[in-house]
Structure 1
Amino acid sequence: MKHIRDHIDEPHNRSRAALETAIVDALGGRSIVLVGIMGCGKSTVGRRLAQRLHLDFVDADSEIERAANMTVAEIFAEHGESYFRSGEERVIARLLKEGPQVLATGGGAFMSEATRSEIAQEGLSIWLKADLDVVMSRVRRRATRPLLQNSDPEGTMRALMDKREPVYALADLTVHSRDVPHDSVVDEIIETLRLHLLGGAGSV
């Protein structure tokens, strides 16, 4: 026997599923491309967003590592940043042909004009905008960020954000990635997609 709560939730769940299907239909073959500074939640939030929309999740950095058979840190150390960025452009251009999907990009990927152009043609970009204290609390947990391997990672991060945020702001949509449960950010992304793609129709 179903619990009373299940009966109460059923209409909401059905309408939510219909909304998510409508969003995917409106995307057509385009990918949802998450951009933003390292630590803003692109991979974690992206996975959950993909699950909600029943789309594949792809992490561009993981695909680059697979193609090179090296980690991002190893590519930076052995070949330098410009070599990495060139490979990043090629991999993202290839991945964008495989939509619809949720694609998480590396923090510097959107700085490339060529990549921004590819994303504009093949995808819908969403900037996960996060504050400095939030991203620093996250990136400190991992020692694999090549751009932060120095004596002043917080100063480096602040400089990166100052340089990159005006470019991230060119994304189609912006969602604030805060220190809240990831599902709350996913809910905000879906609501933002609803307003953008469906003109406000399909509200739950």
Structure 2
Amino acid sequence: MTKSIVLVGLMGAGKSSVGRRLAQKLQMPFIDADQEIERAAGCTIPEFFERFGEEEFRRGERRVIQRILDGPPVVLATGGGAFMAEDTRAAIAAHAVSVWLKADLDVLYERVSRRQGRPLLAKNNPREVLRKLMEERYPVYALADLEVESRRGPIEATVERACEVLADYLDGVTDTVPAE
């Protein structure tokens, strides 16, 4: 791969889990943007949200993602809101292939219910928050280069679907390059 692969989607879609395995399969480094943000900030994302708010978090998130994209190709798992920023989408389009891991509400809710530390879900009904986020974000996620269904079942099945979609996409890209 000469470009990074950037996974986008809602919390619980499997960006980190799928990303790690996809990176192994493609023999590429894996980076979780949320972990990089925590490292840069010196605190957890929930702590960052509490201290500085979502707007400041999103500014830092954009800087971290840009820095990663300016480096060598990686598989990058982004936070759920990262792709919503137009400048982040533009940076991803310039440096990477974006892959939307799309999951339905029941799958997302089941997955996020197993894990704490999601600031957007902390104060309200998580299922309702997810539903609203889907309405708001799915049209934007649909701008990604590729879409892969993230369903119940083994993560490896989603990784395989992602590999197939990426291979088809890359075949299509090389088919359109004129011969010298």
TM-score range, shorter chain: over 0.9
Counterpart residue type for residue 168 of structure 1: Y
In structure 2, the residue matched to 1:52 is: 25
Matches of 1:151 and 1:172 in 2, distance apart?
32
Distance (whole Å) between structure 1 residues aligned to residue 67 and residue 157 of structure 2: 31
Partner of 2:122: 149
Match of 2:89 in 1: 116
* Partner residue, 1:170: 143
Residues 18-33 of structure 1 correspond to what in structure 2 (within 5 A)? 24=1, 28=2, 30-33=3-6
For this pair of structures, how many residues does the alignment match? 174
**Residue number in structure 2 paired with 1:18:** none
CA distance in 1 between counterparts of 2:120 and 2:161 reads 30
* Shift in Å, 1:62: 0.2
Q: Which digits, 9 at most, give the CA deviation of each residue in 1:139-159, with x for residues without a partner?
A: 111110000012411111100
User: Alignment RMSD, CA only?
Assistant: 1.2
Give aligned-pair identity as a percent: 56
1:70–1:200 CA distance, 2 compared to 1 (3 A): closer
TM-score, scaled relative to structure 1 = 0.83
In the alignment, what sits opposite 1:199? 172
**Matches of 1:99 and 1:125, distance apart in 2:** 16
For 1:53-92, what aligned pairs fall within 5 Å after superposition?
Answer: 53-92=26-65
Query: Structure 2: which 5+ residue stretches go unaligned?
Result: 175-180
Hey, what's the Cα distance between the residues in 2 that align with 1:180 and 1:200?
A: 31
* 1:138 and 2:111 aligned: yes
Unaligned runs of 5+ in 1: 1-23
Q: Which residue of 1 aligns with 2:178?
A: none
**DSSP-derived class of the 2:144 partner:** coil
Larger Rg: 1
Name the CA shift for 1:91/1:200 in 2 (closer, same or farther; >3 Å). Answer: closer
CA distance in 2, matches of 1:164, 1:99: 28
SS at match of 1:167: helix
Q: CA deviation at 1:200?
A: 9.7
Aligned to 1:15: none
